[in-house]
A = this chain, B = another copy of it.
């Protein structure tokens, strides 16, 4: 009989739970609100987890009753004193369903979604950016990701900010012209560069306005714009530095690790993989992560149980809920 586990990917905007077997067949899935202990109260986290488990159970009660293990990769864990709070809440909710659970940093999810459970390095670049490494011995490493205010190199927010900076530099005559100017005018539907200011400095979170501009940077890169090339190469250099830092710290004695790239910026892995390979050892295996992070949580759960996932795991998981 196939084993059944629950994997949870908990984040600052939403928390996804999936019940699946080691073939990667998804038996039930659901999404509830944010569960980052830095921004959500223990009370709300508890309510959300209860709802998550209740829904999984409701979707497939007989499978749920076979499942006795849950792995939760949670954002914000390992960074503050809130870890105990999160552990307590999880243990309480899981115990009420007679499920054992293990918590860890959500970097594990992203990593295992890319390496299918092998050790390696994952470079994440979405709205924010962070790099994780996990060795054969289970040592976890982290580089970057200290927040958008001063440490977001290579993130969508960073690329968008740089585009704006360069466009205003060009406007002032301090910097070279770039086609990003016209792309930004079109994107925000304004006629003059200074009119961008009220579009950017609004009551909305600046990251949500600026991060999508990274897309324009990649469009300008495709059009061989010099400034866009500088910005994209700068981001690739940051990714390379982060990956190299973790290789030096953790993988010197091992065979070269797999490197996985996750997050919206790597929708353009065709651009970034060659740029990263240029500077890292060329025999290194670098791939775009194909599975969503919660798949990594499911894989982590099977690893905890010492159960090998089957070869069809990836293709099955991609198909969504199994029926």
Interface check A283, CB cutoff 8 A: no
Stretch at the interface among A9-17, A55-63, A198-206, A285-293: A198-206
Contacts of A79 in B (CB 8 A): 194, 197
The answer, among B147, B161, B165, for a CB contact under 8 Å with A197, is B147
A144–B242 touching, CB < 8 Å: no
The residue on B at minimum CB distance from A238 is: B174
Shortest A173–chain B CB gap in Å is 5
Interface check A258, CB cutoff 8 A: no
Shortest A87–chain B CB gap in Å is 19
Contacts of A162 in B (CB 8 A): 150
A: number of interface residues (CB 8 Å)? 31
Interface check A143, CB cutoff 8 A: yes
The residue on B at minimum CB distance from A248 is: B173
The residue on B at minimum CB distance from A144 is: B172
Shortest A315–chain B CB gap in Å is 36
Seen from chain A, the residues whose Cβ lies within 8 Å of a Cβ on chain B are: 79-80, 142-144, 146-147, 149-151, 161-162, 164-165, 168-169, 172-174, 194, 197-198, 200-201, 206, 210, 241-242, 245, 248-249
9 shortest interchain CB distances as A-B pairs: A150-B164, A150-B165, A150-B161, A143-B172, A146-B168, A174-B245, A173-B245, A151-B168, A149-B206
